[in-house]
């Protein structure tokens, strides 16, 4: 039996574990995971937190883990890959320096400038007061970003000067000292993921995330309320341009910089009137996009990772002809004030794929614990059918006094 370890505990890690465990000769451990993962075949959780590097490394060594796959950004930015590599333990992800593509927006902007990767013009400020004093004369809307990690909530689009001031105060109150102002870009946003070893990479089907809490992309920014893939109006020509103008040059620049990239690379892109531009890079798979992208993989994920780590470019097969559309069920109070301990919705339709994230066991019962609790995904020949399938189940099975969700995932394609 081949042992694998996944670090993390959310919906992304649930899908990574489920995908890796498709092989009957493979046991997948997830640290810390969530209780629902133990219901998956050949998957077990381990009571080790994602930043407990010494315990994780000891577990990987004693279990003779074939490879460790890191899900979230926090352990990557804290140097888990460096820690494992120093102990000759196989791990898939960027080291601490390469992880700065996500953990430092300033570093990311510098690397984009070096590589010629197109992105929005920006200004950086070392403290909130400097940012506030520069507001007069700024063009609106204005994108305001925290420089460091912010769990997907460190970006605010201010449409008035009052909103810009509030955004700066809010980010500062959350601990963000260094801030960036960016020009607001208009166009169609999409997500492109790649599995990378240096300058060798495999791209995945394009996805589109929905960050806003409410229908019509209204309400506050969240970690993501749903996604779908493929994206019919982002065709292969656009994807090829993104690969040639974004993925290849940034990987080349990272190598030249002495910080070669390995692991999952996320490019958050926007197709503007002036061409494709980068909104941001992440150094891991996205959540919720992972839950609609990985089900399309027909090759074995573990074998792809191992081949890449050996410097090989393996053949890979993805499904075609069907769409995957998933909606996140979040705490009714998300993202501001989350109330834990609510009974989990029970989705009764067996044809839907359900992945779990914010779940805990309390007094022998599985209950909600966190903002985004679970995600319900349908596959169909067209997006409208998939959306209707998901919405019908959510309306039937989810208590809207306890939870919230959107009804319009995929609306940009459907409209």
Q: Does residue 397 share a domain with residue 329? A: yes
Against a cut of 0.85, is the pTM above it?
A: yes
Burial 310-322 (b: 16+ CB within 10 A, else e): eeeebebeeeeee
Instruction: Answer yes or no: is 164 within a domain.
Output: yes
Q: Are both 327 and 375 inside the same structural domain?
A: yes
Query: Residue 136 gets which letter from DSSP?
Result: T
Please say which residue of 42, 77, 92 terminates a domain: 92
For residue 15, what is the domain's CATH number?
Answer: 3.40.50.20
Split at pLDDT 50, 70, 90, the class of 394 is very high
* 298 and 331 part of one domain: no
Number of domains in the chain: 4
pLDDT at 148 over 80: no
- Strands 353-356 and 372-380 turn out to be antiparallel
Where is the domain boundary, 278, 309, 340? 309
Distance CA 76, CA 95 (A): 7
| Residue 330: CATH number of its domain | 3.90.600.10
Q: Do 178 and 190 belong together in one domain?
A: no
CA 97: distance to chain centroid?
A: 19
Q: Look at residue 317 and tell me if it is in a domain.
A: no
In order, the DSSP letters of 155-216 are EEEESSHHHHHHHHHHHHHTT--SEEEEE---SEEEEEEEEEETTEEEE---BEE--EEEGG
| pLDDT top residue among 98 and 140 | 98
CATH, residue 173: 3.30.1490.20
For residue range 299-354, list pLDDT tens digits in order: 999 999 999 999 999 999 999 999 999 999 999 999 988 989 999 999 999 999 99
353 contacts 377 by C-beta, under 8 angstroms: yes
Pairwise CA distance, residues 204 & 261, whole Å: 17
**How far apart are the C-alpha atoms of 339 and 356, rounded to whole Å?**
17
Confidence class of residue 122 from pLDDT cuts 50, 70 and 90? confident
Residue count (the chain): 415
Check whether residue 230 and residue 286 sit in a common domain.
yes
First to last CA, the chain: 48
Work out the pLDDT band at 131, boundaries 50, 70, 90. Answer: confident
E runs forming strands in 1-58? 2-8, 26-32, 43-45
Q: Are 11 and 34 in contact (CB under 8 A)?
A: no
Give 46-54 contacts, CB < 8 A, sequence gap 24+: 46/5, 50/7, 50/8, 50/9, 50/74, 50/75, 50/80, 51/75, 51/78, 51/80, 53/78, 53/79, 53/80, 53/83, 53/84, 54/83
SS3 22: coil
Residues 192 and 223 in one domain: yes
Q: Which of 183, 202, 217 is the last residue of a domain?
A: 183
Query: Who contacts 129 (Cβ-Cβ below 8 Å, separation ≥6)?
Result: none
Tens of pLDDT, residues 156-204: 888 888 888 888 888 888 777 788 888 888 999 999 999 999 999 999 9
Range of the domain at 161: 121-183
- List CB contacts of 248: < 8 A, sequence separation 6 or more: 199
* Candidate from 51-60, 139-148, 249-258, 285-294 with smallest mean pLDDT: 139-148
Do residues 235 and 291 share a domain? yes
The answer to whether position 167 is within a domain reads yes
Closest CA to 357 of 31, 28, 34: 34
CATH of the domain at 295: 3.30.470.20
Phi, psi of 185 (to 5 degrees): -105, 140
Residue spans of alpha helices (H) in 21-158: 53-62, 73-77, 80-85, 100-103, 105-115, 128-133
In a domain, 316, yes or no: no
Give the whole-angstrom CA distance, residue 188 versus residue 340: 35
Question: What span, in angstroms and rounded, lies between the C-alpha atoms of 368 and 294?
Answer: 25
Query: How are the residues of the chain apportioned to helix, strand and coil, as percentages rounded to the nearest 5?
Result: 30, 30, 40
195 and 304 assigned to the same domain: yes
Q: Are residues 262 and 362 in the same domain?
A: no
- For residue 125, the model assigns a pLDDT of 85
Domain membership of residue 387 (yes or no) is yes
pLDDT band of residue 151 (cuts 50, 70, 90) is low
Q: Where are the beta strands (DSSP E) in 332-412?
A: 353-356, 359-362, 365-368, 372-380, 403-404
In a domain, 47, yes or no: yes
CA–CA separation, 70 and 84 (whole Å): 11
Structure tokens at 172: 């500062």
- For residues 179 and 284, membership in a common domain is answered with no
Whether residue 129 has pLDDT greater than 80 = yes
What confidence score (pLDDT) does residue 152 get? 52
100-109, 238-247, 349-358: range with lowest mean pLDDT: 100-109
* Residue 183 to residue 294: CA distance in whole angstroms: 33
Regarding whether 276 and 191 lie in a shared domain, the answer is: yes
What confidence score (pLDDT) does residue 153 get?
53
Whether residues 152 and 242 share a domain: the answer is no
386-410 mean pLDDT: 97
CA 108 to chain centre: 17
């Amino acid at each position: 039996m081949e042992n694998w370890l996944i670090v993390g505990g959310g919906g992304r890690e649930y899908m990574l574990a489920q995908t890796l465990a498709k092989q009957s000769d493979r046991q997948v451990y997830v640290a810390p995971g969530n209780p629902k993962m133990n219901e998956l075949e050949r998957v077990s959780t381990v009571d080790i937190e994602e930043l407990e590097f010494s315990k994780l490394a000891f577990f990987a060594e004693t279990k003779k883990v074939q490879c460790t796959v890191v899900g979230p950004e926090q352990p990557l930015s804290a140097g888990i890959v460096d820690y494992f590599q120093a102990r000759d333990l196989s791990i898939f992800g960027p080291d601490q320096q390469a992880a700065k593509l996500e953990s430092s927006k300033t570093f990311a902007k510098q690397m984009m400038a070096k590589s010629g990767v197109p992105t929005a013009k920006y200004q950086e400020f070392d403290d909130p007061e400097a940012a506030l004093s520069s507001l007069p004369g700024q063009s609106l809307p204005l994108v305001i970003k925290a420089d460091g990690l912010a769990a997907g909530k460190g970006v605010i689009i201010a449409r008035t000067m009052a909103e810009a001031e509030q955004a700066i105060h809010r980010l500062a109150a959350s601990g963000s000292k260094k801030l960036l102002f960016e020009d607001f870009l208009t166009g169609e946003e999409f997500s492109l993921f790649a599995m990378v070893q240096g300058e060798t990479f495999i791209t995945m089907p394009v996805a589109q995330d929905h960050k806003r809490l409410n229908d019509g992309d209204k309400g506050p920014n969240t970690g993501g309320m749903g996604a779908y893939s493929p994206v019919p109006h982002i065709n292969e020509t656009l994807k090829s341009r993104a690969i040639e103008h974004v993925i290849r040059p940034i990987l080349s620049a990272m190598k030249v910089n002495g910080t070669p990239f390995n692991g999952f690379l996320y490019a958050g892109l926007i197709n503007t009137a002036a061409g494709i531009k980068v909104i941001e890079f992440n150094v891991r798979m996205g959540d919720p996009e992972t839950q609609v992208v990985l089900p399309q993989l027909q090759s074995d994920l573990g074998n792809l990772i191992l081949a890449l780590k050996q410097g090989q470019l393996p053949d890979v097969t993805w499904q075609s002809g069907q769409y995957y559309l998933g909606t996140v069920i979040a705490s009714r109070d998300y993202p501001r004030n989350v109330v834990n301990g609510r009974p989990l919705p029970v989705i009764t339709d067996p044809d839907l794929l359900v992945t779990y994230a914010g779940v805990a066991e309390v007094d022998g019962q599985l209950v909600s614990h966190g903002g985004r609790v679970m995600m319900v995904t349908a596959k169909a020949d067209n997006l409208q059918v998939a959306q209707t399938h998901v919405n019908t189940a959510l309306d039937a099975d989810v208590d809207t006094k306890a939870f919230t969700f959107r009804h319009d995932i995929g609306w940009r394609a459907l409209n």
